[in-house]
A and B are shown apart, each in its own frame.
Chain A
Amino acid sequence: MRRLVTLVFVAALVVVMAASFSVSAAGGRVIVMNQQEPNMINPYLDSMQATFDVSQLTWGGMLELDEKWELIPSLALEVPSLQNGGISKDGLTYTWKLRKDVKWSDGAPFTSEDIKFTWEYIMNDNLNVVSRTGFEEITAIETPDKYTVVMKLKQIHVPMLYVWTGPTIVPKHILSKSKNLNEDSFNMNPVGLGPYVLDKWEHGSYLIFKKNPNYWRKGYPKLDQIVYKPIPDENTAFTQLATKEIDVYQTFPTNQYKQVKALTHVNVTETASTYWEHININCKSPLLTDVRVRQALRYATDLKKLQETVYEGLWPVAVSDQGSPFWKNAKLKPYQFDLKKAGQLLDQAGWKLGNDGMRYKNGKKLTLVISTTAGRIPREMTEQILQQDWKKIGVDLVIKNYDAGKFFATYDEGGILDTGDYDLAVFAWGSSPDPDNYTLWHSAQFPPAGQNNVFWSNKRVDELIITSRKELDVNKRKAMIDEIQQIMWEEVPMIPTFYWVNLDAFNKNIKNIKPNGTSSGNLWNAYEWELK
């Protein structure tokens, strides 16, 4: 028996020793990591960032959103505007001029018919499209010739250009023959207009993309291959970056910042994101209908402390729901942390301090419930800090967290947010570069109709949201968006806390990295990526 044990150990030793002869291959390829595996390569049917990333590699759009969040032409020759006549004076007709000589990855010609088909595809009731926002505003698409598209709109819809930005166009010659659009093999291996095509997908392990031989930008893409590798565990991802088993570590957590920075072979980029962290205040809750109570809570929220202890000082403090430098109301300042002022506001609202140091009104104690998704450590830390600070002004804060499924569930499924079964809720919203937040703040959008799950209604804001959606003059629209932010700053239907910053690490040998904090992601310009 002893001999057997020795034998096993010796065998194991030999195996481990032999493993040291590892081979490292170099060439024109980059390995990009993401925590999640894409569900498919079709951004219309799935809202995961990973799905969006791989669609960026393989699909095309008429416009692209660059790293400065500006629209640039891609398959369209120019960005339609009032000045160049691409948008009619009444804002109801969009005319697009398309690039000629563009081919699909299978060699078929790309024409205006594909744009028209894309709209019909999205409006097909049998397709499980995640959102039709924007497409619903189109009443007809005309194709006077192969390279001209004319869109007619129901009403003015300012974000129309974004609807056609990034991975958006589907091939008519493939999908018009499809028997079941939801289960079509196109969704897993698309014929596209992007710089790369899928070569191989080992489910659960990685996706390998190779050059699209028919790509329209001559001389691109530069890399031969891009590998997209899902790694669910953050510690594993860090080790893989350190061992150079991956070249790009996307959106790593702030608590790994120092560790990743210490690696000499990578560049760390910090990119402003469209996501913003906030604390929802349930305006329907009887304890929170008084605006003075909501303001008091905002004064008692120590954003400096949260920034230092929870986000390593990396995330900038937010003042409103608009993160983009252009749309943010520059006059607004964050509330200064001031417990005295918070106490006074609560006094005015009739919440008096009792002998136990807590506040009471008509014999009722000021007990509030704060909720978030269990397991998100930064958010749980936020709750604990608030709990301690708010106790000092006599507010009893009770923490009650839920599984993400329950927290975000729909109204019909009994979701905590949508049914309003909370007082305060910590989470984030992702905005698009366009400032329209109709679904979040308009009073017609209380769940289940929309996502106004702070249950806040303000006549002036309703009016501003509707008129700003129809304002083609960008400066006039900016004034309206500023006013919405101003009103929300005073009314406090939610406490904006931080704008997210995406932390990404890239191997230093990759050139032309232009990280993009919108859903366009880091791969939007992968056609330009090159190895030094």
Chain B
Amino acid sequence: MGRYIFRRILQAIPLLIIITIVVFALMQLAPGGPLALYKQNPKVTGEDLARISRNLGLDKPVPIQYFNWLKRLVTGDWGTSFSSSRPVLELIKERMAATFTLMFSSFVISLLIGLPIGILSALKRYSIVDYIVTFFSFFGLSMPVFWFALMLQLLFGLKLGWLPTAGMKDPFIDFELWDRVRHLILPAAVLSLTSLASWSRFMRSSLLEVIGQDYIRTARAKGLSEGKVIRKHALKNALIPVVTIIAIAIPGLFSGAVITETVFAWPGMGRLYFDSLGRLDYPVLMGVLTVTAFLVVIFNLVADIIYGILDPRISYD
């Protein structure tokens, strides 16, 4: 196992470098450029643009720009934002905590609610419970996020006045757990809705498939109680595909959710990325995408390892 992990990590390095090259190239292909923003000011002259372009290093050929970026990255310097001139790493750090708080809460909610109701609806297949759960799962999956968010804001913020409508904290309270939780409830609810719905569907179909297997019949034939059959034999096997899906969702915990973060004015990575995309702030975009790529690679590896633990038939030697 140790050798396997080591080998996979070694393979990840060239992979990540290739990803950064592709991403850098794609960004250059995006229409327009970082200077377009200045162009909306009629006072800006061609000379001004030339000077800014020179200072930002945009006058150099694209491959050179990439190597300069990579060279700095190796020494731990992620570059500085074109629009705010602040270090990219600092921008990412201050957004990551906010994004993680939001995404992790919704992750936990989805797990705690999504998996149990998926199991429930598989065990009570074609019952009233199953139909209700199925209905709400599809409702959750097909609901436009921004619309649902606005409805919640109107109901809990405006009509009932129970919860703040946006933001991560009250500007005048330094730190108070309750203040943070209140701000978290609506965005976390909106965000968990979709994943909750899809995970419960996965759990349901995966469990149904396992229940139809021969070894479950054998377990029942042995005279095991139904509860034991489900807990000991069915669930563990049914979790394998679900775990993969969940592990792959983890990098998303850091990259954030653009729409939810925008509607709730949440200071997360999704908004940082979206704002930077609008101005083609290359260093910030590269920073965010590299971090995301890194996490995707790592959690794919983690998913494979967990696979091996859950399913002894899989061996990596």
Contacts and interface: CB of A to CB of B under 8 A. Distances in A.
A and B associate in one complex: yes
Interface of A: 1-2, 4-5, 8, 15-20, 22, 25, 31, 37, 39-40, 45-47, 125-133, 182-183, 187-188, 202-206, 208, 227, 229-233, 235-236, 239-240, 242-243, 245, 402-415, 417-418, 429-432, 437, 439-440, 447-451
B80 interface: yes
Contacts of A414: 31-32
A9 B153 CA distance: 20
Given A2-B120, A414-B32, 14 more contacts: A17-B162, A39-B83, A128-B51, A129-B48, A130-B44, A188-B84, A204-B266, A233-B262, A236-B264, A405-B30, A408-B39, A409-B35, A414-B31, A439-B42
Nearest to A432: B43
**Cβ-closest 10 pairs across A and B:** A204-B267, A405-B32, A406-B31, A413-B33, A409-B32, A39-B84, A409-B36, A408-B36, A406-B32, A20-B162
A129 B94 CA distance: 27
A438 to B, nearest CB: 9
A413 B161 contact: no
Contacts of A8: 112-113
Contacts of B117: 5
Contacts of B48: 129-132
A360 B51 CA distance: 46
Contacts of A240: 165-166
B119 to A, nearest CB: 7
A409 B39 contact: yes
B: contact size bracket: 35 or more
Interface in B104-153: 112-113, 116-117, 119-120, 146, 150, 153
B166 A236 contact: yes
Contact of A130 (B31, B38, B161, B171): B38
A31 B164 CA distance: 15
25 contacts: A5-B113, A8-B113, A16-B162, A19-B185, A25-B172, A40-B86, A46-B84, A130-B38, A130-B44, A131-B44, A183-B86, A188-B86, A203-B94, A204-B168, A235-B153, A239-B153, A239-B157, A240-B165, A243-B157, A245-B164, A403-B31, A412-B33, A417-B39, A430-B40, A448-B49
Nearest to A406: B31
A183 B80 contact: yes
B268 interface: yes
B181 interface: yes
A121 to B, nearest CB: 14
Given A15-B185, A208-B171, A46 B43 contact: no
B171 A202 contact: yes
Contacts of A432: 43
B32 A47 contact: no
A127 B119 CA distance: 62
Contacts of A126: 55
Interface string B157-200: 11011111111110110000010011001000000000000000
Given A133-B45, A405-B36, A187 B168 contact: no
Q: Max chain A CB contacts within 10 Å: which of B56, B84, B94, B98?
A: B84
Interface in B84-105: 84-87, 91, 94-95, 98
B53 to A, nearest CB: 8
Contacts of B119: 1
Contacts of A39: 81, 83-84
A133 B43 contact: yes
B51 to A, nearest CB: 7
A230 B265 CA distance: 7
A84 B98 CA distance: 57
B156 interface: yes
Contacts of B168: 202, 204-205
Contacts of A448: 46, 49
B98 A403 contact: no
Nearest to B33: A413
Given A131-B48, A182-B55, A245-B164, A410 B158 contact: no
B37 interface: yes
Nearest to B150: A235
Contact of A128 (B85, B156, B266): B85
Contacts of A203: 91, 94-95, 267
Interface in B267-294: 267-268, 271-272, 275, 278-280
A450 B30 contact: no
Nearest to A42: B85
B295 interface: no
B263 interface: yes
Contacts of B98: 204
